[in-house]
Amino acid sequence: QKEVEQDPGPLSVPEGAIVSLNCTYSNSAFQYFMWYRQYSRKGPELLMYTYSSGNKEDGRFTAQVDKSSKYISLFIRDSQPSDSATYLCAMSAGNNNDMRFGAGTRLTVKP
Partner 1 sequence: GAVVSQHPSWVICKSGTSVKIECRSLDFQATTMFWYRQFPKQSLMLMATSNEGSKATYEQGVEKDKFLINHASLTLSTLTVTSAHPEDSSFYICSSAGPSNQPQHFGDGTRLSIL
Of these, 1, 68, 82, 97, which contacts partner 1 (CB under 8 A)?
Answer: 97
Long-range (24+ apart) CB contacts under 8 A made by 48-54 are: 48/74
Establish if 75 lies at the interface with partner 1 (CB under 8 A): no
Give the whole-angstrom CA distance, residue 49 versus residue 46.
8
Residues of span 27-56 touching partner 1 by CB under 8 A = 32, 34, 36, 41-46, 49
Q: Which helix (H) or strand (E) holds 67?
A: none
Q: Which of 88, 108, 94 is nearest to 13 (CA)?
A: 108
Q: Which helix (H) or strand (E) holds 45?
A: strand 45-51
Establish if 96 lies at the interface with partner 1 (CB under 8 A): yes
Establish if 106 lies at the interface with partner 1 (CB under 8 A): yes
* Nearest to partner 1 of 15, 45 (CB atom): 45
Query: Which residues of the shown chain bind partner 1 in the complex (CB under 8 A)?
Result: 8, 32, 34, 36, 41-46, 49, 88, 90, 92, 94-97, 99, 101-104, 106
